[in-house]
Structure 1
């Protein structure tokens, strides 16, 4: 028996539009999708649910290493998936909130955000003057 392995590194958000992914999934009846963490399956709870539903329609077993051997298509698995996806979404929202608060604090303290300039103010003035002169 020949074993086929497919390794994909892509955003699960784009999975619904990936013909390559669908072809690979349909070519091997024992194809599995494994993800290290639940939040890798989508950006928010509805996205994770939609991804798992799509994979179930394609008859692809989803294995989330973080959850062990939980069957995500069973009623208990669906409930756990919904709750954990909501928690993952909340964690993501909190991360964004903390990042924005930190950036706002840094701006208020007068810190320059972003990459440091490679040219000095004098060099930029010289470049502008030479450009204007032609």
Structure 2
């Protein structure tokens, strides 16, 4: 049976490993993660291995779902600004949507697997945002 110190140490390492995984999924480099947590790059690698090996309940679907939830939260304020006519916000919203599409491998689908429909919906959404922005400007 482990001591309290060992249990606290395992808990601390587990929490750090989760943070390392989240940062890595967000696009941070190993070096940036190491600097943020004041650990070595090798420790970052070990933490990522821990998540994959020692904590197998962290399934790929759960990781994708967490990343998707973060992207949705990031998207919301930019969408509202884009609808209000802010071009910079519209471009940022589009980049977030593209990242989301990559998360679900939508760019790698064969042409006949719904990619055309997804592109049509994206174009429709962007057209709607543009029309809303024009309506807002014309109404002011």
Q: TM-score, normalised by structure 1?
A: 0.31
Q: Which structure has greater helix proportion?
A: 2
Larger Rg: 1
